């Protein structure tokens, strides 16, 4: 199974990056001035960034299925169940869309945005979910806003740029290859952000921080990381969980002391 995951991961990474580079080249202006070269470079980098979502989304989806099958513990089983309906609705919607176009006798026009709009609700939901995270406090303490702002900015940037390019596609300004790459990438970006943000919201709501064991094993065994980045991130998450539990314990102790003090005061006043 690890060999299968490895083949799929590297195949998606290669496909996404190579296709992303061609996407950037195809989006480039025809006249090679200094300004147009800069625009071309931006499009190529943007295409590569979108390409990276192809393998990472696969890992997130595999982790979700692993959790839903109960192989990642009770915490992640409960989290996967909380988003199961959204995933099923998206899968059925995508399947019906494919069936409609398969049975339709007319030629499909890639200048539409219907494929991409399977993923747009995930992007919107991810944005809304991240906003929800801001209002949650862990043991009465607000979460740090700096990291949240970075992630929120990333979601906004991908969403706004994707919509702008989809408008171009709707106007038949993109080639068939660029259109297909963009629309598939929007779906994968939406799923990636949605799965990540719903997991974050679940952790904050439960006031428990845990790193998905499937993802940790994936980047330790299936796709080896020489820097050990995933292991360090997982360790940092567990450290955060210990801090949260300590804060909860301190908050509970303080609450109990306050309750006892109030009880003593009421007893004294009644006498």
Residue 48 and residue 20 in contact, taking contact as beta carbons nearer than 8 Å: yes
Provide the whole-model pTM: 0.85
- What tokens appear for 111 in the block? 């200048």
Number of Cβ within a 10 Å radius of residue 14: 13
pLDDT for 13 equals 93
Which residues have C-beta within 8 Å of that of residue 271, sequence separation ≥ 6?
A: none
Residue 178 and residue 109 in contact, taking contact as beta carbons nearer than 8 Å: no
Residue 179 and residue 169 in contact, taking contact as beta carbons nearer than 8 Å: yes
pLDDT for 81 equals 93
Residue 176 and residue 115 in contact, taking contact as beta carbons nearer than 8 Å: no
> Each residue's pLDDT tens digit in the chain (271 positions)?
578 888 999 999 999 999 998 888 787 766 666 777 788 888 888 899 999 999 999 999 999 999 999 999 999 999 999 999 989 988 888 888 878 877 877 676 666 777 888 888 888 888 888 888 877 877 677 776 666 677 778 778 888 888 888 888 888 788 888 888 988 999 999 999 999 989 988 988 888 888 999 998 888 877 766 667 777 888 888 888 888 788 777 777 776 777 666 666 666 666 5
3-state secondary structure the chain: CHHHHHHHHHHHHHHHHHHHHHHHHHHCCCCCCHHHHHHHHHHHHHHHHHHHHHHHHHHHHHHHHHHHCCCCCHHHHHHHHHCHHHHHHHHHHHHHHHHHHHHCCCCCCCCCCCCHHHCHHHHHHHHHHHHHHHCCEECCEECCHHHHHHHHHHHHHHHHHHHHHHHHHHCCCCCHHHHHHHHHHHHHHHHHHHHHHHHHHHHHHHCCCCCCHHHHHHHHHHCCCCCCHHHHHHHHHHHHHHHHHHHHHHHHHHHHHHHHHHHHHHHHHHC
- What tokens appear for 267 in the block? 């007893």
pLDDT for 166 equals 84
- What tokens appear for 29 in the block? 């202006």
Look-up: residue for tokens 């952000």? Answer: 193
What residues pair up with 141 in beta bridges, in sequence order?
138
**Which bin fits 112, alpha (ψ -120 to 50), beta or left (φ > 0)?**
beta
Residue 172 and residue 111 in contact, taking contact as beta carbons nearer than 8 Å: yes
């Amino acid at each position: 199974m690890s060999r299968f995951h490895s083949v799929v991961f590297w195949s998606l990474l290669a496909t996404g990056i190579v296709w992303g580079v061609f996407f950037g080249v195809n989006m480039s202006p025809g006249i090679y001035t200094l300004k147009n070269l800069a625009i071309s470079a931006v499009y190529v980098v943007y295409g590569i960034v979108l390409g990276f979502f192809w393998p990472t989304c696969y890992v997130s989806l595999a982790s979700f299925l692993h959790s839903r099958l109960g192989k990642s513990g009770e915490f992640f089983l409960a989290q996967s169940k909380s988003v199961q309906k959204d995933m099923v609705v998206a899968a059925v919607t995508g399947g019906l869309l494919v069936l409609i176009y398969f049975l339709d006798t007319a030629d499909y026009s890639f200048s539409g945005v219907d494929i991409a709009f399977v993923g747009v609700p995930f992007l919107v939901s991810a944005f809304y979910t991240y906003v929800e995270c801001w209002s949650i406090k862990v043991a009465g303490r607000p979460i740090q806003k700096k990291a949240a702002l970075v992630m929120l900015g990333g979601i906004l940037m991908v969403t706004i740029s994707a919509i702008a390019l989809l408008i171009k596609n709707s106007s038949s300004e993109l080639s068939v290859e660029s259109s297909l790459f963009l629309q598939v990438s929007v779906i994968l970006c939406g799923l990636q952000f949605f799965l990540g943000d719903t997991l974050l919201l679940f952790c904050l709501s439960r006031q428990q921080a845990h790193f998905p064991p499937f993802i940790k094993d994936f980047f330790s065994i299936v796709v080896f990381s020489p820097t050990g980045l995933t292991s360090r991130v997982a360790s940092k998450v567990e450290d955060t969980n210990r801090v949260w539990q300590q804060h909860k314990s301190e908050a509970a102790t303080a609450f109990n002391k306050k309750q006892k003090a109030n009880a003593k005061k009421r007893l004294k006043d009644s006498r």
